[in-house]
C-alpha cells in the first residue's frame, strides 16, 4: 500500500520507541519474575521435539528482531500508519504478557554450554530472557507485526525474497536456539495476526465497529458458531497432542460468532479488491475453507449464473473462469474472498443468512445501475440465492422495472427458482421502496 510520505515522522517514531521500549522491558521482566516465583508452572512438549537441533549460529537472526523492531519505526509514511504500527506492538505486549501471567509455561530443554561469540550472545540473552514465558511466543507475535510493516515497504523480487527469507529464519530460530517449544509458534502467530486484525492500516479498527446485534437471527447464528468454537476448544484440551490444532478452528469460529454478535460484516475485513485482509484470512482460514466447500455443495447443480434481465445476471461467487463475458461485478458476500475481479467491481459486504438492511439495498441498487452501463453485470454472493437476489430486486425497484416487491421477486424467481427471500428480505426491500417514495414527495414539495 502506498502513502504520501509525511515529513518529520521520525520524531514521532522516536517518541513511540521511548514509550514502548521501557514498557517492553518492565512488563516482560515482571512476567519473568512473577512466574519464577510460582510452583504451578507446567510445560507442553511434543514427543518429537527433542529431535529439534540446536544451531548456535541462529542466535544471530534471533537477536536481529531487536534491531528490526527499532528500524520498523523508520518505515511508516504517515501518522496513521505510524500510530497503528506502534499500537500493534503495544497490543502484542499486552496480549502476550497477560497470557504469560494467566497460563504460564516453562521451557524444559537444558542447553549445553556454548563458547565463542555465539555463546556470549546466549549468555547476554539469558541474563534477561528466562524460560518461563512461552505461549504465545512474544518473539513470534512481534515478528508477524514487524514482518507486515517491512513487507508493506519492500519493493522488487530480490529484496522481497531476501526479506521473507530472513523473517522466516527468525521464526525458525526460536526453535533452533532452544528458546521455545513448538506450541509457542502457532499461538504466537495467532496473537500476531489478532493484533493486525484489531489494528488494520486501512479502515477502522473493529473495536470502533462494535454494535450489539438487535436482530434475533444474528444472535442465533452467533450462538451456533460460539458452540462450535467451544466444542473445538474442549476437544483440543481433552484429547491433546495433534488435536491441539483444533484451537485454530476454535479461534476462527469464535471470531465469526463475534462478527455476528458485535462487529458485523466489517469484522471479515473484505477489502475493495475483493479479498479479505491477510490477518482475517489467517485467523478465519478453517471457517473460510468450510464456507467455500459449503457454497459449492449447495450450488453444484446450478453453478452457472442466471440472467434476470438482459445485462444483469445473478449467481454464486465466481471462480476466475466464471468471469468471462462480465464487465462488472457487484459482490454482496462478506465472508468469502473474490480472488480475481473485473475492472469494475463493487463490494457491499453483508452477513450470510442475514437480510441486508434497506440502506444496503439502496447502495446495491445504485451500484448495479451505475455499473450496468459498463457492460454485463454479475450480482453475486456465496450461493446467489439470497443476498444477491435481494440486491437485484432492489435494482428492479430502483430502476422502475418493477413497481412492487412482489413483482420484483416473481421476476427473479422465474430466472432462478432456488432463491430464498424471507420476510426480513422483503421488509428491507419495502423499506427501501418506501424511503424512495418519501424522498420523491419531499423533492416535489
Helix (H) or strand (E) holding 381: strand 377-381
Q: Give the pLDDT of residue 117.
A: 87
Q: Give the pLDDT of residue 111.
A: 84
Q: What is the pLDDT of residues 391-410, one digit of tens each?
A: 999 999 999 999 999 999 99
Between strands 328-333 and 312-316, the pairing is unpaired
Q: What is the pLDDT of residues 209-239, one digit of tens each?
A: 899 999 999 999 999 999 999 999 999 999 9
The residues facing 64 across adjacent strands are: none
Residue 232 and residue 287: Cα distance in Å, rounded? 12
Of 99, 333, 380, 381, which is the active-site residue?
A: 381
Whether 195 sits among the annotated catalytic residues: the reply is: no
Q: Which of the residues in the chain have pLDDT under 70?
A: 1-4, 130, 132, 439-445
Q: Give the pLDDT of residue 1.
A: 47
Residue 284, C-alpha cell as written in the block: 478465519
Contacts 24+ apart (CB under 8 A), 85-90: 85/145, 85/149, 86/16, 86/19, 86/20, 87/199, 88/145, 88/195, 88/196, 88/198, 88/199, 89/20, 89/142, 89/145, 89/195, 90/20, 90/23
Cβ atoms within 10 Å, residue 307: 14
Using a cut of 0.85, tell me whether the model's pTM lies above it.
Answer: yes
Residue 298, C-alpha cell as written in the block: 449447495
Residue 8, C-alpha cell as written in the block: 518529520
Hey, what domains does the chain have and what are their CATH numbers? Answer: 9-35+51-201 (no CATH), 304-444 (3.90.190.10)
Amino acid at each position: 500500500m502506498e502513502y504520501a510520505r509525511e515529513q518529520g515522522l521520525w520524531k514521532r517514531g522516536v517518541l513511540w520507541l521511548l514509550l514502548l521500549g521501557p514498557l517492553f522491558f518492565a512488563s516482560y521482566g515482571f512476567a519473568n519474575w512473577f512466574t519464577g516465583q510460582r510452583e504451578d508452572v507446567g510445560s507442553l512438549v511434543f514427543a518429537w521435539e527433542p529431535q529439534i537441533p540446536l544451531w548456535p549460529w541462529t542466535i544471530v537472526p534471533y537477536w536481529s528482531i531487536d534491531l528490526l523492531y527499532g528500524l520498523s519505526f523508520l518505515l511508516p509514511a504517515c501518522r496513521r500508519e505510524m500510530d497503528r504500527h506502534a499500537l500493534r506492538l503495544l497490543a502484542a505486549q499486552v496480549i502476550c504478557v497477560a497470557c504469560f501471567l494467566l497460563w504460564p509455561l516453562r521451557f524444559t530443554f537444558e542447553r549445553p554450554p556454548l563458547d565463542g561469540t555465539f555463546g556470549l550472545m546466549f549468555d547476554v540473552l539469558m541474563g534477561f530472557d528466562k524460560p518461563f514465558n512461552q505461549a504465545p511466543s512474544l518473539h513470534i507475535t512481534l515478528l508477524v507485526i514487524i514482518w507486515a510493516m517491512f513487507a508493506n515497504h519492500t519493493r522488487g523480487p530480490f529484496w522481497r525474497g531476501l526479506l521473507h527469507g530472513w523473517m522466516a529464519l527468525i521464526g525458525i530460530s526460536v526453535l533452533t536456539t532452544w528458546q521455545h517449544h513448538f506450541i509457542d509458534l502457532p499461538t504466537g502467530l495467532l496473537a500476531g495476526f489478532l493484533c493486525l486484525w484489531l489494528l488494520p492500516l486501512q479502515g477502522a479498527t473493529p473495536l470502533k465497529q462494535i454494535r450489539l446485534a438487535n436482530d434475533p437471527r444474528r444472535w442465533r447464528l452467533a450462538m451456533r458458531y460460539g458452540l462450535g468454537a467451544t466444542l473445538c476448544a474442549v476437544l483440543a484440551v481433552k484429547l491433546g497432542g495433534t488435536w491441539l490444532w483444533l484451537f485454530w478452528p476454535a479461534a476462527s469460529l469464535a471470531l465469526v460468532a463475534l462478527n455476528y454478535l458485535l462487529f458485523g460484516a466489517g469484522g471479515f475485513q473484505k477489502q475493495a479488491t475483493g479479498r479479505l485482509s491477510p490477518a482475517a484470512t489467517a485467523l478465519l482460514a478453517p471457517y473460510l475453507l468450510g464456507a467455500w466447500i459449503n457454497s459449492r455443495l449447495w450450488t453444484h447443480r446450478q453453478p452457472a449464473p442466471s440472467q434476470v434481465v438482459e445485462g444483469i445476471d445473478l449467481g454464486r461467487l465466481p471462480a476466475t473462469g466464471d468471469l468471462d463475458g462480465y464487465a462488472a461485478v457487484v459482490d454482496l458476500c462478506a465472508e468469502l474472498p473474490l480472488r480475481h475481479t473485473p475492472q469494475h467491481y463493487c463490494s457491499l459486504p453483508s452477513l450470510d443468512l442475514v437480510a441486508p438492511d434497506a440502506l444496503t439495498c439502496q447502495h446495491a441498487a445504485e451500484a448495479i445501475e451505475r455499473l450496468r452501463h459498463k457492460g454485463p453485470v454479475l450480482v453475486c454472493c456465496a450461493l446467489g440465492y439470497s443476498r444477491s437476489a435481494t440486491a437485484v430486486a432492489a435494482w428492479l425497484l430502483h430502476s422502475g422495472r418493477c413497481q412492487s416487491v412482489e413483482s420484483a421477486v416473481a421476476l427473479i424467481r422465474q430466472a432462478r427458482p432456488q432463491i430464498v427471500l424471507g420476510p426480513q428480505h422483503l421488509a428491507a426491500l419495502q423499506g427501501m421502496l418506501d424511503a424512495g417514495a418519501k424522498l420523491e414527495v419531499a423533492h416535489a414539495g
